[in-house]
Amino acid sequence: MTAPREPDGRVGPAPDLTPFRPRWAPVVGVVLSILVLAGVVLLFVFVQPNAATRLGIGDYLLVVVVAGLLLGILWRQSSVSATPTPRGLAVRNLMGTTRLEWAQIVSVRFSPDRAWAQLDLADGDQLAVMAIQSADGERARHAAARLAALVQHYGTALDA
């Protein structure tokens, strides 16, 4: 008797397709965002114009623009993720989102000396998966193992 086939044609039970997200990056992002906003408010409230500090509208706009850029970076860092589907993996990192088919992923590498998991791709490139961060400890090791299981399950050609 053979193992049952899944709806996608694979043998055996389908692995967990829950998205990968870091535990601490969103917490740090929220705390730092609050500090940036508080700093801007404190600057606007407590820096009073005098002979030494003459702030014009351009100065205030510059502060708002810099604070906005910082908040954007913190938001992006807080929202890193890797979303698996039966067709592939969408990796959202700080600088962009990359969509991969499972067959493009050769292996998953992760160890305590790495900041985050890394994918080895069929074209020889590597892609960081910032959603699996070593700062998350054992949780990250389990996530890397689950991602490797997904690559193993979906990345190979279907049996005829």
Which of 150, 149, 77, 151 is closest to 116 using CA atoms? Answer: 77
Which backbone phi and psi does 151 adopt, to 5 degrees? -60, -45
Tell me the C-alpha to C-alpha distance, in Å, between residue 122 and each of 20, 105, 106, 115. 22, 6, 6, 22
Residue 4 lies in a domain: no
Domain boundary among 59, 77, 95: 77
Claim to verify: residue 84 and residue 73 sit in the same structural domain: no
Final residue before a domain boundary, out of 42, 61, 77 = 77
Q: Is pLDDT above 60 for 111?
A: yes
Q: Does residue 139 have a pLDDT over 80?
A: yes
Domain that holds residue 39: 26-77
State how beta strands 97-101 and 105-109 pair.
unpaired
| φ and ψ at residue 82, rounded to 5 degrees | -135, 120
Res. 157 pLDDT band, cuts 50 70 90: very low
The structural domain count of the chain equals: 2
pLDDT tens for 38-82 read: 999 998 888 777 767 777 788 889 999 999 999 999 999 999 999
Indicate whether 109 and 145 sit together in one domain: yes
Helical packing angle, 24-46 and 57-78, nearest 10°: 170
Determine how β-strand 88-92 pairs with β-strand 81-84.
Answer: antiparallel
* Domain limit, last residue, from 36, 61, 77: 77
- pLDDT tens for 24-41 read 889 999 999 999 999 999
Distance CA 127, CA 19 (A): 17
